[in-house]
């Protein structure tokens, strides 16, 4: 079983580990995973030390643990429809930074995101799914994009900006170089996570 002590790795190296895992997923060669109770009993019942945080979408096809080929205890994950950020999500990520001392956050958008599709086509200021699509609609207006996949990528920029504006804990860690925030995009058609910037 792979065990990664994040203290021995830089944020860039941890990102490489995730991308290596994604390559295993893409190539249909997942490594041994600790997806069983015996692994938890062996090493995880007394605490967790995940080495990366993921902010991603609740989409059933975009499970971070699977597409990065990771097991129990490795990722600290916040998922909402569209990867949208409300107060609880913000505090979840703050917990990851302040208490779990995680130094890598991946903001993971994806192809064919239902929330981005809906936001692209829904009228402004409608009541349905308002909290989910409001920010995506702001991004749509700003960027003038007509493609929901492009909107999902632009939304990553918005999400990063929002985290830094709304959270002093995240901003401080980021400014001090203790937290790397990496934007990324998952393509369903080829299983690849590509880095955005």
- Positions that interact with Zn ion (CB under 5 A): 57, 59, 113
Tell me whether residue 59 or residue 69 sits nearer to Zn ion (CB atom). 59
Q: How far is the CB of 114 from Zn ion (least distance, A)?
A: 6
Q: Under a CB-based contact definition with an 8 Å cutoff, are residues 133 and 119 in contact?
A: yes
Pick the closer one to Zn ion by CB: 79 or 180. Answer: 79
Nearest to Zn ion of 103, 110 (CB atom): 110
End-to-end alpha carbon distance in the chain: 33
For the bound state, the minimum distance from the C-beta of residue 117 to Zn ion, rounded and expressed in Å, comes to 9
Nearer to Zn ion, 59 or 74 (CB): 59
Residue 58, C-beta contacts closer than 8 angstroms, at least 6 positions apart:
79, 80, 81
Shortest spacing between CB 130 and Zn ion, in angstroms? 17
The minimum distance between CB 56 and Zn ion, in angstroms, equals 8
């Amino acid at each position: 079983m792979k065990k990664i002590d994040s203290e021995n790795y830089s944020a860039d190296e941890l990102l490489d580990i995730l991308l290596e895992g994604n390559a295993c997923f893409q190539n249909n060669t997942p490594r041994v995973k600790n997806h069983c109770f015996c692994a938890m009993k062996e090493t995880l019942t007394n605490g967790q030390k995940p080495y990366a945080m993921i902010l991603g979408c609740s989409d059933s096809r975009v499970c971070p643990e699977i597409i990065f080929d990771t097991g129990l205890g490795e990722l600290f994950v916040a998922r909402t429809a569209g990867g949208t950020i409300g107060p609880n999500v913000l505090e979840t990520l703050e917990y990851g930074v302040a208490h779990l001392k995680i130094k890598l956050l991946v903001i993971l958008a994806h192809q064919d995101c239902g929330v981005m599709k809906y936001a692209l086509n829904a009228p402004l200021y409608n009541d349905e799914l308002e909290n989910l699509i409001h920010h995506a609609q702001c991004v749509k207006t700003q960027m003038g994009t007509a493609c929901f996949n492009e909107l999902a990528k632009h939304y990553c920029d918005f999400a990063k900006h929002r985290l830094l504006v709304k959270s002093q804990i995240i901003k401080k860690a980021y400014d001090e170089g203790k937290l790397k925030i990496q934007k990324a995009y998952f393509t369903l058609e080829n299983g690849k996570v590509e880095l955005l910037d």
